[in-house]
Amino acid sequence: MTSRPDDAVPTTESRRALVVVAAGSGARLGFGMPKAAVQLQDRTILDHALDPITAGLGLDLLVLVLPADAQAHRELAPAAVAVAAQAEAEVLIISGGASRTESVAAGSEAITEHARRNEWGPASVQVLVHDAARPLTPTSVFDRVLSALDSGAQAVVPAVEVADTIKRVDAVGRVAETLVRSELRAAQTPQGFTLTFLQQAAEYLQNHREQADSLTDEAMIAEHLGVDVVVVDGDARALKITTSADLSTAAALLQAPAHTPSTQNPGPESPSSQGPSTQPAPASAPRVGIGQDVHAFAASNEPTELWLAGLHWPHQQGLTGHSDADAVAHACCDALFSAAGLGDMGAHFGTDRPELVGASGAALLAEAAHITRQAGFTIGSIAVQFIGNRPTFGPRREEAQQVLSEAAGAPVAVSATTSDGLGFTGRGEGISATATAVLTLRQ
Ligand code: CTP
Ligand code: MG
């Protein structure tokens, strides 16, 4: 934090305020309640979002922006009051507007008014703007944004590298351009600004109301105003919860060994620090996971198709199961979730994801790989072994490896064996697949 010499005049003394915007309806999450009030494990999303707010951040003021209704204020305000007291900051609880931009504007107006009454000079007030919808953001991200502001930046954005290849698509759905991935970053929050900048941004919005919908964060206004936006490292754990799939990813991340938030990490003296779950492996250590899947062959008089390892096997009796019963692809999915500490397929591809009904094994593997990467991991490789009398994998091994590797975005090695006539695979009643995956945590 900027030093505060005893003889400084009050108006230039550095001050810090944090606006947490939590006034959204959470329509895409679809719980029929504000997203901030939705439970993430045993606490609300807002409770988690307030976790990183510690006295160490040196905050003078916390502004919580809530939906306007009284029930939201009754349910959500107490958490912020408690956290502000703990962080030794004053707290203001206000109602937001119809859009995120309006809610942020309401927050910065509240800070402006507070600054005026307390004779804080706007240029020396640092404001962090944070989405309650990013509940697992570690304190370290807040620290990095604050130190960039301390170094004189007017606008700061934490951002992470993008794992997917991003295409710009034209109005008729054709690819217009493939963007250069190494130049792309996904912006997160908290974003940091001087209060002076936020006031300029509010004025810009007043004069350019037609742009209000396309300006999804204040850093975009900085670009319009010609203000440099400094980028600092974000964190994979700062993912935004938008859909129920994100909620399951966040729930799984809370269980994952990588999640060691400063406020929940027991000290070395703590008795609970003896167990493996509180002794995280070094970040660079590879993580190994295992997955297995079994399916029975359908009765011979049932008209079924066989899908295995992402391939269609014509003229072969199919397998029974809710999905396409692609045990080879499914074992790969579970191996990824296992290595990442993200639970299993049931936790991610349950009935709350209607868009996945009937999804192919390869599509599920692509989605599992996406969730794994979103959780901050790089996929090293997957190995999967098929056990069964048929089909004969040898002639199509290359093809299977290609399809699965493309889905996972990482090398997948496929091998196959019989069980020498023993057990259900030996009797030809069904098949089994076992996979291992190796991941590393992105630094
Ligand atoms: N937000 C807000 N006021 C709004 C809209 C959004 O304070 N009128 C906040 C949300 O509470 C969230 C952040 O802005 O913390 C990011 O918005 P988003 O993820 O879009 O959340 P919601 O608007 O709640 O979700 P949805 O768009 O699905 O309704
Ligand atoms: Mg929204």
CA-angle at 149, arms to 148 and 151, nearest 5°: 65
Structure confidence at residue 420 (pLDDT): 93
- 441 falls in which pLDDT band (50, 70, 90)? confident
**Inter-axis angle of helices 397-408 and 327-340, nearest 10:** 40
- Helices 100-117 and 195-207: crossing angle in degrees, nearest 10, is 130
The reported pTM is 0.67
How many whole angstroms from 377 Cα to the centroid of ligand 2? Answer: 27
Asked whether residue 60 carries a pLDDT value surpassing 80, the answer given is yes
Helix, strand, or coil (residue 186): strand
What angle in degrees, to the nearest 10, is found between the helix axes of 397-408 and 361-374?
Answer: 40
Could you please state the CATH topology (level 3) that the domain comprising 287-441 is classified under. 60s Ribosomal Protein L30; Chain: A; (3.30.1330)
Q: Which residues line ligand 1 (CB under 6 A)?
A: 21-29, 35-36, 65, 96-100, 103, 131-133, 240, 242
Ligand (nearest to CA of 102)? 1
Which sign does the torsion angle of CA 86, 90, 95, 101 carry? Answer: negative
* Token pair belonging to 301: 């008089």
Cα 40 to ligand 2 centre (Å): 19
Q: Relative to the alpha carbon of 101, which ligand is closest?
A: 1
Residue 131 CA: nearest ligand 1 atom is: 15
15-269 placed in CATH 3.90.550.10: yes
Ligand that comes closest to the CA of residue 243: 1
pLDDT at residue 270 above 50?
no
At 256 the pLDDT is 67
Banded pLDDT at 92 (limits 50, 70, 90): very high
| The ligand 1 atom nearest the CA atom of 28 | 28
Q: Residue 381: pLDDT above 90?
A: yes
* Residues whose CB falls within 8 Å of the CB of residue 315, separated by 6 or more in sequence, listed in order: none
Domain boundaries, the chain: 15-269, 287-441
Q: Which atom of ligand 1 is nearest to the CA of 98?
A: 8
User: How many Cα atoms are found within 13 Å in the side-chain-facing hemisphere of 105?
Assistant: 17
Q: How far is the CA of 134 from the centre of ligand 2 (A)?
A: 13
Average pLDDT of span 171-200? 93
pLDDT-derived band at 3 (thresholds 50, 70, 90) equals very low
What is the percent of the chain where pLDDT is above 90?
A: 69
